[in-house]
A and B are shown apart, each in its own frame.
Chain A
Amino acid sequence: EDKVVQSPLSLVVHEGDTVTLNCSYEVTNFRSLLWYKQEKKAPTFLFMLTSSGIEKKSGRLSSILDKKELSSILNITATQTGDSAIYLCAALHNTNAGKSTFGDGTTLTVKP
């Protein structure tokens, strides 16, 4: 059975802290790893990682995939209260284009 596990499930930090969110996957026909941010409504896309060891960056967010360890991390530096959200990772399948298996998410709370 395909499985995506995220840790920690929840995290509380103060503004300015750096956080690392983890995602591991066991998926047949794995293609890519996706990260999303979900606030009140539907998730918004952050990153897609297909190649191992290549870091992707967007502002204070960065992410990297380790295909040997079947895992990925999402880093957020200098956190702000606006970063408070649920961060979801999903494994994109190689079959049935666009089909994804989601992890349970990490709820990040950034306190002022």
Chain B
Amino acid sequence: GAVVSQHPSRVICKSGTSVKIECRSLDFQATTMFWYRQFPKQSLMLMATSNEGSKATYEQGVEKDKFLINHASLTLSTLTVTSAHPEDSSFYICSVWRGPRETQYFGPGTRLLVL
């Protein structure tokens, strides 16, 4: 089945810095990838839909300028958290949807801690 990787798996950064998280679809060309955020003991919240070759679609309440998404190829989407603050500390997970098999594959997630 499709394998999705994320890098890094864990990152600690200082407040005010930017952090880039990569999501790769290893054996499937994904025109669409999804970015989720999960706070402790809460469910997954969809942040945005990443579309290859076009602008991402953001969910209500998610700041486009703070969470920059780039989907430059069919196998790579990146999420950049700009000027990160402690409240951005969370678990960020990407996923790809494999239409023919109708299955969603999640990446292993990236745990971000902003000090």
Contacts and interface: CB of A to CB of B under 8 A. Distances in A.
A55 B106 CA distance: 25
B49 A96 contact: yes
B46 A100 contact: yes
Contact of B105 (A45, A100, A102): A45
B43 A102 contact: yes
Given A32-B102, A97-B99, A102 B107 contact: no
Nearest to A44: B106
Contacts of A104: 42-43
**How many residues of B sit at the interface, in one of the four size bands?**
20 to 34
Nearest to A45: B103
A104 B43 CA distance: 5
Interface residues of A, number: 21
A96 B104 CA distance: 13
A103 B42 CA distance: 9
Interface string A13-45: 000000000000000000010100000011111
8 contacts: A42-B106, A42-B107, A42-B108, A45-B104, A97-B97, A102-B45, A102-B46, A107-B41
Interface of B: 32, 34, 36, 41-46, 49, 57, 93, 95-97, 99, 102-109
